[in-house]
Amino acid sequence: MRDWVQPLALALRFLSRLSFPGEDMARFQRDLPRGLMFFPLAGALLAGPTALVLLGAAQVFPLYLAVLLALGFDAWLGRGLHEDALADLCDGLGGGRTPEDVLRIMKDSAIGAFGALALGFALVLRAAALVAQDDPWRAALALVVAGAVARLLMLAVIWRVPALPGLGGSVAGAMDGRRFALAVLLALPVLGVGGWLSPGGMALALLGAAAFFIWYRALLLRRLGGANGDAMGAAACAGLVMVPLGFAAW
């Protein structure tokens, strides 16, 4: 059981502000690769409290306010990890001409116009797509499914795009086809919920994620020569948007 619980705890710790008794931060980075295949399952589990906030708020407020409150809680729980990555990446790609310029801009902690616009559009699209579900339970389930798909997309980037030096690179070396297949297997129950919720919407979300990955991989190779931690995290942010958009379209 420990072989499953500890890697899952590592995944939850990395993707959120959660901490666990007896946690040894000195070993965290070294042991994190063991938790990679649990990222999609951890993403779905972390979306659970956000879904509960949405359902609870929907008992008092209109759905659009409930969604905004839930997304605010989600940003707090996840430390804005993926949103920060999206903003950094878009600032770098928008303002840099060479790979060196892009990476230098991405390291700047200040947010620029490109990052602010990308982050704003992503949040508005995600919120609008959830509101378009027209039902709190459907929106809550879309959040949970999106949590899994987003991290599958993140793992696809980690696996199939050469890693640049840094934390992302140190983790990416442990990702291979076997671990990606296990991640998909662990996420299948959540994907099944999405298929039950809307077969067409789930199919659209997965097709959109696949098309995005093909385009995104080519972009990263052309502009950066690989992927760093921000590029990996931004992929997850894209997945969080695509799933509710797919369900909203069907």
Amino acid at 115: G
Question: How far, in Å, CA of 250 to CA of 246, rounded?
Answer: 7
Answer whether residue 51 is part of any domain: yes
- State how far the alpha carbon of 229 is from the alpha carbons of 29, 59, 82, 167, in Å: 13, 38, 10, 7
The pLDDT assigned to 29 comes to: 60
The pLDDT assigned to 86 comes to: 96
The pLDDT assigned to 75 comes to: 95
Answer whether residue 30 is part of any domain: no
**What does the chain come to in residues?**
250
Tokens of 109: 């902690």
pTM of the shown model:
0.92
- Structural domains in the chain (count): 1
The pLDDT assigned to 91 comes to: 95
The pLDDT assigned to 109 comes to: 82
Counting as low any pLDDT under 70, the low residues of the chain are 1-3, 20-31, 166-170, 172
Residues 42-53: tens digit of each pLDDT: 999 999 999 999
Question: How far, in Å, CA of 185 to CA of 188, rounded?
Answer: 5
Q: Which residue has the tokens 């992503």?
A: 122
Answer whether residue 77 is part of any domain: yes
Residue ranges making up the domain that contains 154:
38-249
